[in-house]
Amino acid sequence: MDNFLVTLLFMAIIGAAIGGVTNHLAIKMLFRPYKAIYIKNWRVPFTPGLIPKRRDELARQLGLTVVNYLLTPETFRRKFFSKDMQDKIEHLVQTKVEETIFTNDKTIQDWLNLAGFSHIPATIEQKVEVIVEGQFASVKNTLSTKSIRTLLSADIQQTIDEKIPVAVDHILKKGEDYFLSPEGEMTIKAMIDDFLSTKGSFGGMISMFLGDSSSLVGKVQRELVKFLQAPGTSTLLTKIFTQEWEKLKDRPAMDFLQDIQFEPLLAKLQTYVKEQLAIAERLNHPISYYWPEGNDWIKHQIIPQAIEKGFIKAEEKLEDVLKRLNLQEVVREQVDSFPVEKLEELVLGISKREFKMITVLGAVLGGLIGVVQGLIVYFI
C-alpha cells in the first residue's frame, strides 16, 4: 500500500511537471524563437515561433479587420460627423475668431508683421508714388498731343461758347464802371498826358492851346462810355473772342503750360496723396475699427455655413479619402515592422496573470492525469 501511494504521488508530480512545462513551453513558443534556427541547410522544426512565422498573415488579417470592422466609414460618421461634433467645432472656431482676429490687442500692422510683411506701408507708398508718377506722365502726354477741342467734351465747349457773350457784356460793364470812377478819370488823364508828351512840339502846341489836359478828360470819358455802350462794340468783341477761342481749341493744351515746372508739382502731388492715404496710421488700428460688425457677421453667418458645408463635403468624400489612405496597407506595414520582442512584451504584460493560470492549469491537469494513470496501473 505504501508503494502504491508513493507511485501514485510520483506519477502525479511527473504529470503536473509535464503539464505545467508543456503549457509554459507552448506559451513561449507563440513568440520564441524570434527567427528560424538552421543547422546547416536544415531548419529546426517549430522555428521561428508561431507569431513571428505568421506575422505577414497576422498583419494582413489585422489590416482587414481594422478596415472592415474598426475604422469603417460608418464609424467615422458616428464619431466625427455628428451634430454634437459640428456644434463643438463651430463654437471653437467662433471663440478663436473672436479672440484672435477681432481682438483690439492686435492691429492690422501686427498681423502683417506676424505674416512677415512688416514693410507693407513703405511698399504701398512706393507703389503710390509710381502710380501717381505714371498718371502724371500720362496727363502730360495727353496735354501735349491732344488739342483743347479733343480734351473738352461737346457740352463743355457749348457752355463756353454760350458764356462768351455774357463775358463780353460783363467786361464792357466793368469797363464802363471803371472809366466813370475817379480812378478811371485819373487813368484817362494820364493816358492823354502820355499821348501828348510823345507827339513832340505838336503835342506841346496842343497843350498850350488847351491848357491842362483835365478839360479833355470829360470829353474822352463820355466818348469811351458811348463806345462801350454801343451794340456794335459788344458784337465786335464777341466775334473777336469767338474767333480766338476757335483758334485756341485746335492748339495742344501744353502750349499754354510751358512755363510751369512739373517736377516740383509732381513731388508735391505725391506727398499730398501719401499724406491723404496715411497708410501707416490706417494700419495702426485693429480690424474691428474698420469692421465693427464683422465679428457678429462672421460668427453667425459665415462660420455656421462654412462648417456645415465643410461637414457635408467631408462626409461625401469620406469613403474616397479612406480608400486613398489605404488603412489596410498602413496597418499591415506597421504590424509587419513592429518588433516581435515588443509585441511579446506587450502581450505578456497585459495577460501575464492569465498565462500563469494556463501554466498552473496545465500542471493541475497533468497531475490529475498522472493520478488516473497510477490508479489504472494499480488496478491492472
Provide DSSP, 326-347.
THHHHHHHHHHHS-HHHHHHHH
* Average pLDDT in the chain: 82
CB atoms within 10 A of CB 19: 22
Choose between 95 and 338: higher pLDDT.
95
Among candidate residues 366, 368, 377, the one with its CA nearest the CA of residue 4: 377
Question: What is the pLDDT, as a whole number, of residue 332?
Answer: 78
Angle at the Cα of 304 from the Cα atoms of 299 and 309, rounded to 5 degrees: 145
Question: What is the pLDDT, as a whole number, of residue 348?
Answer: 66
Which cell goes with 295?
A: 465679428
Contact between residue 33 and residue 47 where contact means Cβ atoms under 8 Å apart:
yes
Q: Indicate whether 115 pLDDT > 70.
A: yes
CB atoms within 10 A of CB 248: 14
Give 49-58's long-range contacts (Cβ < 8 A, gap of 24+).
Answer: 49/340, 51/340, 51/343, 51/344, 52/340, 55/335, 55/336, 55/340, 56/336, 58/335
Which cell goes with 362?
A: 496545465
Question: What is the pLDDT, as a whole number, of residue 202?
Answer: 52
Question: What is the pLDDT, as a whole number, of residue 103?
Answer: 84
pTM: 0.51
Average pLDDT over residues 289-315: 88
Could you say which DSSP state residue 99 is in? I
Q: Indicate whether 170 pLDDT > 90.
A: yes
* pLDDT tens, position by position, 172-214: 999 889 888 888 888 877 777 676 666 555 545 555 445 455 5
Question: What is the pLDDT, as a whole number, of residue 56?
Answer: 76
Confidence of residue 131 (pLDDT cuts 50, 70, 90): very high
Contact between residue 90 and residue 304 where contact means Cβ atoms under 8 Å apart:
yes
Question: What is the pLDDT, as a whole number, of residue 73?
Answer: 82
In the chain, domain spans: 2-82+315-379, 147-251
Gyration radius from the chain CA atoms? 55
Question: What is the pLDDT, as a whole number, of residue 174?
Answer: 92
State how far the Cα of 355 lies from the Cα of 221, in Å rounded to an integer. Answer: 138
Provide DSSP, 18-56.
HHHHHHHHHHHTTT-SSS--EETTEEPTT-S-HHHHTHH
Which cell goes with 363?
A: 500542471
* pLDDT tens, position by position, 250-273: 888 888 777 788 888 899 999 999
Confidence of residue 373 (pLDDT cuts 50, 70, 90): confident
* pLDDT tens, position by position, 64-111: 887 888 778 888 888 888 888 888 998 999 888 888 888 888 888 888
* pLDDT tens, position by position, 35-59: 777 777 777 676 766 677 777 777 7
State how far the Cα of 115 lies from the Cα of 30, in Å rounded to an integer. Answer: 57
Which cell goes with 102?
A: 477681432
The terminus-to-terminus CA distance of the chain in angstroms comes to 15
